[in-house]
Amino acid sequence: MPYARLRTQNLPIGSGVIEAACKTLATQRLKRSGIRWRQAGGQAILTLRSLCQSDHFERAWDLLAATYKRPVGLPRKVIALSGHRARV
C-alpha cells in the first residue's frame, strides 16, 4: 500500500472506514434477529441502502423510473363496491 501517497491525498489508510461502512450499510440491516435473506432480496436491500447513504437515491430512482415504465390499465373483471364506480 502506498502509504505516503495516500496520506498526501488525505485518503484513509486503515480498514476502519471500510469496516464501519460495512457495519452501518449491511450488518445493521441484514443480521437482525430472526431474519433470513435470499441472495436476491439481500442484494436489493444492500443496493437501496447504499444508494440512500451515498445520496444517489434520487438519481438512481429517476433512471429506474425511466427504464421500467409500463402502461397501466383497468383489470378486465372489476367488481364495483357499493356506491363506487371504477374511474378511467
pLDDT tens-digit readout, 32-63: 888 888 999 999 988 988 888 888 999 998 98
Here the cell at position 75 is 383489470
77-82: average pLDDT: 75
User: Of the ranges 10-19, 22-31, 69-78, 79-88, which one carries the lowest mean pLDDT score?
Assistant: 79-88
pLDDT at 9 (0 to 100)? 92
pLDDT exceeds 60 at position 68 = yes
Q: What angle do CA 37, 42, 50 make, to 5 degrees?
A: 150
Read off the pTM.
Answer: 0.52
Where residue 84 falls among pLDDT bands split at 50, 70, 90? Answer: low
